[in-house]
Amino acid sequence: MDPILEVVCLLLGFIGWVMVGIAIPNRYWKVSTDDGNVIITSNIYENLWMSCATDSTGVHNCRDFPSLLALNGYIQASRALMIAAVIFGSIGLVATLVGVQCSKAAGEDMVLKGRIVAVGGVLFFLQGLCTMISVSWYAFNITQDFFNPLYPGIKYEIGEGLYIGWCSAVLALTGGSCLTCACKLGTSEKQPYPYQPRDRVYSGVAPSRSQAATSYGQDAYV
């Protein structure tokens, strides 16, 4: 694999991993909509961990969700997926740093390095997949309630935290896919063997005496 491509994929995975860390604590996963409201006295915004409100004077009040079991199932699943994404990305980052060709941590065995980098690519891919499922599932519930005319509660719109998560997922999926597909797993370059001359061994039926005599007679007159 091209060392430059390895470094580029590593940077993509690293940026995606950093953006996951930015998206998780971001407070604006969903924001209350102003559609259809003439007078706006407050705005409500939430993420995976807390709900916040701001009034017209600019005062912000936040409170953590009081009970884990009282939360909707998709919020609990999104929490678990985002934490899993951070874990996968952390291990994948370490594995890729060890396995890249410009690193001396794994020695000079290119086959071993290729396998380590491929493992890092798979982990980056899993990071992006977990992030993509989490933010897409969360956004699906937001849009489902928004377009439901019978929904009695507060309607929300997609916040900036979800966009950060989507960008993170795309970067991690791209970097992980390139690392996994481009690495040579279990294959090494064939080394040419030195030429070793050997005695020639002829096999076949021995010629008869008459054939040998005829051949000798013809060669004698040349």
pLDDT digits (tens, 9 = 90+) for 171-200: 999 999 988 887 654 444 444 445 455 555
**Residue (of 92, 156, 160) closest to 124 by Cα position:** 92
pLDDT of residue 210: 55
pLDDT of residue 199: 53
Stretches where the chain sits below pLDDT 70 are 1, 36-41, 106, 183-222
CA 142, CA 139: separation in Å to the nearest integer? 5
Q: Give Cβ neighbours of residue 139 (< 8 Å, ≥ 6 apart).
A: 158, 162
CA 117, CA 133: separation in Å to the nearest integer? 24
Residue 51 CA: distances (Å) to CA of 30, 32, 55: 10, 11, 14
Look up the pTM and report it.
0.77
Tokens at 219, concatenated: 């060669």
3-state secondary structure of 169: helix
pLDDT of residue 61: 87
CA 86, CA 78: separation in Å to the nearest integer? 12
pLDDT of residue 192: 46
Residue 136 CA: distances (Å) to CA of 12, 17, 184: 21, 17, 33
pLDDT digits (tens, 9 = 90+) for 52-71: 988 877 788 888 988 888 88
List alpha helices for 100-208, DSSP H: 110-146, 160-182
Tokens at 37, concatenated: 């409201």
pLDDT of residue 189: 45
**Residue bearing tokens 């407070």:** 27
CA 215, CA 152: separation in Å to the nearest integer? 110
pLDDT of residue 142: 93
